[in-house]
Chains A and B, each alone.
Chain A
Amino acid sequence: EAGVTQFPSHSVIEKGQTVTLRCDPISGHDNLYWYRRVMGKEIKFLLHFVKESKQDESGMPNNRFLAERTGGTYSTLKVQPAELEDSGVYFCASSRIGQTNTEAFFGQGTRLTVV
């Protein structure tokens, strides 16, 4: 079974540009989460999809961030326009819906550097 896959693994962009991160969850996982870790700090929750619906987007920092999960499969996180403080590692995780065995599986992360 393939794990959670994130693309790209690294991205370096200039301030003001647009970047789109992609996450492919494990097949059959309806829950999809985005997290971000800014250098040296804790990993922070951004948002949660259940299938294609946004269940909780309380962690999204501002309206420069747009997450989508069309069709309830893969998800994208677009940052437009990027600012210096957006630099960090963006993690995606997926899990099953249910009462048991709902462990979240993480991708390897996308390291975003805004210069």
Chain B
Amino acid sequence: AQTVTQSQPEMSVQEAETVTLSCTYDTSESDYYLFWYKQPPSRQMILVIRQEAYKQQNATENRFSVNFQKAAKSFSLKISDSQLGDAAMYFCAYSWVYNQGGKLIFGQGTELSVKP
């Protein structure tokens, strides 16, 4: 069975600095999708970034980038130039390639606080 593990329940970063959130996963599939979702307090969860496993190039979205290590089954999220609005719960998630973005397996979440 597929599993996703986020070993950092809480992280903190100074505004304008860089922070990396960790995520590891387990699967026997060779092709799949990985995601990072952000849930601000009392607000909807939104997709931050998506990585397709067959693509070797790490995905990037503005200040957000991932370090995808397929052999190590690691998928970390780097947030550069952290802003106060980045404070949120971050969830790492996995989905099967035939159901991309649909049925998701989530990690436990990492709560990120940003200090001014």
Mark A residues whose CB is within 8 Å of B.
Answer: 3-4, 31, 33, 35, 40-45, 48, 56, 91, 95, 102-109
Contact = CB atoms under 8 A, between A and B. Distances in A.
Interface in B22-54: 37, 42-47, 50
Contact of A106 (B46, B102, B103): B46
Given A42-B4, A48-B102, A108 B43 contact: yes
Interface of B: 4, 9, 37, 42-47, 50, 91, 100-109
Given A41-B108, A42-B108, A31 B102 contact: yes
A51 B103 CA distance: 15
Contacts of B91: 43
Given A42-B4, A56-B103, A106-B37, 12 more contacts: A3-B44, A33-B103, A35-B104, A35-B106, A43-B91, A48-B103, A91-B45, A95-B101, A102-B101, A102-B102, A103-B50, A108-B44
Contacts of A107: 44
A43 B46 contact: no
B42 A108 contact: yes
A89 B101 CA distance: 20
Contacts of A95: 101-102
B50 to A, nearest CB: 8
Nearest to B44: A108
Nearest to A103: B101
Nearest to A56: B103
Nearest to B47: A103
A48 B106 CA distance: 15
Contacts of B105: 45
Nearest to A108: B44
Q: Which 5 residue pairs across A and B have the least CB separation, nearest first?
A: A43-B106, A106-B45, A42-B108, A102-B101, A108-B44
Given A3-B44, A106-B46, A108-B44, A40 B108 contact: yes
